[in-house]
Amino acid sequence: MTKDDSNKEIIFSDNTPETNFEPSEKLEFNFLRPKSFSDYIGQNKIIESLSIAVEASRKRDESLDHVLFYGPPGLGKTTLSYIISNQIESNFIHTSGPALEKPADAVGLLSNLSSKDVLFIDEIHRIPKTVEEYLYSAMEDFRVDFITGSGAFAKTINLRLESFTLVGSTTRPGLLSSPLRDRFGLSYHLDYYDENDLKDIILRSSRLLDLKIDENSSIEIAKRSRGTPRIANRLLRRVRDYVEVKNIKKINTKVINDSLEIEGVDNLGLDRLDREYLRIIAANYEGGPVGIDAISASLNEDQATLSDVVEPFLLKIGFIIRTSQGRKITKLAYKHLGI
Check: CB of residue 262 under 8 Å from CB of residue 241: no
DSSP 81: H
- CATH code at 200? 1.10.8.60
Residues 258 and 121 in one domain: no
Residues 160 and 53 in one domain: yes
- Residue 149's pLDDT is 61
Beta-carbon contacts of 29 under 8 Å, excluding residues fewer than 6 positions away, are: none
- pTM for the structure as a whole: 0.81
In order of 113, 121, 145, 148, 210, the CA distances from 12 in angstroms are: 16, 21, 13, 9, 49
Residues 35 and 184 in one domain: yes
Residues 130 and 216 in one domain: no
Residue 146 within a domain: yes
Residues 61 and 107 in one domain: yes
- Residue 80's pLDDT is 94
- Catalytic residue list: 77-78, 122, 171, 230
Chain CA centroid to CA 17, Å = 20
- CATH code at 319? 1.10.10.10
Residues 107 and 167 in one domain: yes
DSSP 27: G
Residues 301 and 173 in one domain: no
Domain's final residue, options 208, 237, 262: 262
Residues 107 and 171 in one domain: yes
Query: What is the residue range of 329's domain?
Result: 272-337
CB atoms within 10 A of CB 116: 20
Residues 258 and 278 in one domain: no
pLDDT in tens, the chain (339 residues): 444 443 444 444 444 444 444 443 343 346 788 889 999 999 999 999 999 999 999 999 889 999 999 998 889 999 999 999 999 888 999 999 999 888 888 888 888 888 999 999 999 999 998 888 888 888 988 888 776 666 666 666 778 888 999 999 998 888 899 999 999 999 999 999 999 999 999 999 988 888 888 888 899 999 999 999 999 999 999 999 999 998 888 888 888 988 998 988 988 889 999 999 999 999 899 888 999 999 999 999 888 889 888 988 899 899 999 988 899 999 999 999 888
Check: CB of residue 184 under 8 Å from CB of residue 168: yes
Domain's final residue, options 240, 262, 284: 262
- Residue 210's pLDDT is 85
Residues 79 and 94 in one domain: yes
- Residue 153's pLDDT is 62
Residue 313 within a domain: yes
The domain tally of the chain equals 3
- With CA atoms as reference, report the closest residue to 202 among 177, 188, 223: 223
Beta-carbon contacts of 302 under 8 Å, excluding residues fewer than 6 positions away, are: 296
- Residue 291's pLDDT is 92
